[in-house]
């Protein structure tokens, strides 16, 4: 049976999304076929505004409506402690826990040579630029996921900051680098961790 072109096109669009298989794509398309037109209009408008009305914060690279973002603009945050995460969803998870009052840096990925993702493909150089002499940052908590890619990224960040610390010994400026402690199982994604687990990981962080 031949599916109507508008339906087939929508199904293909859904299939291109991560985690959506052919059957799920079909169910979503046929579901939308039966909702009121006003719902579809609102849905399509939200999609159009998704990129038009959002920006990457020039400081931390989080997705926001303003630049700098509200977190970077918040004078009540501890600007001396910086938490490095892979994705904006990881930042949201930590904010949801309410236990971290420092600032963030979002990499938007992790180093993965198998997929040709190196340091230049993520916002890691922007992190090092933030650690200049006048940054006031004293500790960098590396909160990349406990996967092979996340560990490789953590090692790269630690290596670069350690090299920078050696160069800055004369000025006395050194940045402490720590890694999340126990509580996050190997291979897990931080965005799915509960508040208690994230809190224990923060409190049990160790030096790299």
Burial class, 190, CB count within 10 angstroms (exposed 0-12 / middle 13-18 / buried 19+): buried
Residue-wise pLDDT tens digits, 34-48: 999 999 999 999 999
The model's pTM is 0.80
Domains of the chain plus CATH, in order, are: 5-52 (1.10.8.420), 60-207 (3.40.1360.10)
- Mean pLDDT for the stretch of residues 55-60: 96
Confirm if 180 and 147 have CB atoms less than 8 A apart. no
Where residue 146 falls among pLDDT bands split at 50, 70, 90?
confident
pLDDT at 170: 55
């Amino acid at each position: 049976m031949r599916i109507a072109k508008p339906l087939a096109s929508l199904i293909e669009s859904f299939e291109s999304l991560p985690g959506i298989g052919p059957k799920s794509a079909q169910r979503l398309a046929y579901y939308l076929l039966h909702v009121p037109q006003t719902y579809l209009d609102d849905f399509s408008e939200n999609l159009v505004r998704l990129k038009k009305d959002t920006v990457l914060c020039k400081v931390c690279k989080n997705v926001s409506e303003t630049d700098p973002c509200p977190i970077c603009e918040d004078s009540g945050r501890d600007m001396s402690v910086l938490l490095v995460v892979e994705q904006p969803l990881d930042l949201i998870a930590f904010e949801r826990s309410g236990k971290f009052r420092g600032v963030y840096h979002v990499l938007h990925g992790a180093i993965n040579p198998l997929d040709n993702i190196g340091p230049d493909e993520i916002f890691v150089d922007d992190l090092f630029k933030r650690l200049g002499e006048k940054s006031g940052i004293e500790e960098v908590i590396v909160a990349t996921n406990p996967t092979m890619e996340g560990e490789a990224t953590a090692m790269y960040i630690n290596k670069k900051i350690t090299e920078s610390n050696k160069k800055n010994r004369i000025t006395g400026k050194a940045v402490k680098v720590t890694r999340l402690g126990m509580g996050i199982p190997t291979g897990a994604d931080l965005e799915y961790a509960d508040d208690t687990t994230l809190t224990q990981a923060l409190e049990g962080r160790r030096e790299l």
